[in-house]
Structure 1
């Protein structure tokens, strides 16, 4: 997301950290048709009908940024059983911290060389370079996390013939070979 060599997000929205007002800045992202098509392609979806995010970026500690907000999207996926189109909704709350790459907050503690992470605490801050953060890429990351990796229609069932996968009464040549090996041993 903050790597200058990383591929740009279809919904990229750059925020210049040095120009961030003390009270923060609201950034609204509403993907157009071309951006939605690129998101669908990038995430293996049949289509993205709607993608919108409202983010608030506020200064945090020395040179850092706290981003909070909400993402809403409507997508169409292929059912993993029937491959039929399946409409789904993605709703995600967004929360992230960013610090400049030279910040002491991005480095492990000097004494132990470890970074203390609390299970219920805030995430470890991500670093950024060049004084910019891509808020669109952040929204896309949360979008990807909200997509069901195995979408299935309510009544979809995988039917296996009663006689095994090949439909015959025998288990097949592989099982015959295994049975012979077991009888020898």
Structure 2
């Protein structure tokens, strides 16, 4: 996410990397009640009633490790009935952060290297970027909350039933077909 995209987020909680120590530092992200409608609009849900994220951050050199949990109470709209229904989410998070320069150096192939894409299962995720010495916990919270939402939510007990096939209307050319047969 670029800085201009982060500036447009309805939830921002920047934390300077210098304020994070080797010992875990606790950080809470709890938006104001007035911010919840904007967060709901950003996430594309009917409403957000409560949102709380608890994080533990620790630093080793220039790298930062983040672990925590996001808890949210919200309403999503059912894709079948379009009725809003309550959803409770508990989203665990584990992330590593590294300076942008370090990530760019890891991603940049040397001139002798061939570009080869290989997908390895169970491979550790690359670290996220530390932008200008700051990690935005609000952006992290919104990103993981959005990823945990069901893209096709159904209200409990609702099932989609295929509509009965319509009987085709008689074609205006049916009369001509009858004349041809006679």
TM-score of the aligned structures, taking structure 1 as reference length: 0.78
Query: Which SS does the other structure have where 2:156 is aligned?
Result: coil
8 Å contact 1:94–1:139 — kept in the other structure?
Answer: no
Aligned counterparts of 1:59 and 1:105: Cα–Cα separation in 2: 20
Deviation readout 1:96-130 (Å, 9 max, x if unpaired): 11111122685236574779875324310122221
Match of 1:148 in 2: 150
Deviation readout 1:27-78 (Å, 9 max, x if unpaired): 1111221221111011111100111000111113x31111110011011011
Bigger Rg over Cα: 2
Match of 1:20 in 2: 20
1:163: Cα distance to partner? 3.7
Q: Comparing both structures, which one devotes a greater share of its residues to helix?
A: 2
| Structure 1 residues not aligned, in runs of 5+ | 177-185
Matched, 1:41 2:41: yes
1:11: Cα distance to partner? 2.3
Aligned counterparts of 1:30 and 1:81: Cα–Cα separation in 2: 32
Aligned-residue CA RMSD (Å)? 2.6
| Structure 2 residues not aligned, in runs of 5+ | 174-182
Deviation readout 1:127-182 (Å, 9 max, x if unpaired): 22211110111111110011111111233244555342xxxx21787xx9xxxxxx
Aligned residues: 168
TM-score of the aligned structures, taking structure 2 as reference length: 0.79
Matched, 1:92 2:94: no
Alignment of 1:7-156 (within 5 A): 7-8=6-7, 9-60=9-60, 62-103=61-102, 107-108=106-107, 110=110, 112=113, 118-156=120-158
Aligned counterparts of 1:29 and 1:172: Cα–Cα separation in 2: 63
Structure 1 stretches of 4+ with a deviation exceeding 6 A read 113-117
8 Å contact 2:103–2:129 — kept in the other structure?
Answer: no
8 Å contact 2:59–2:65 — kept in the other structure?
Answer: yes
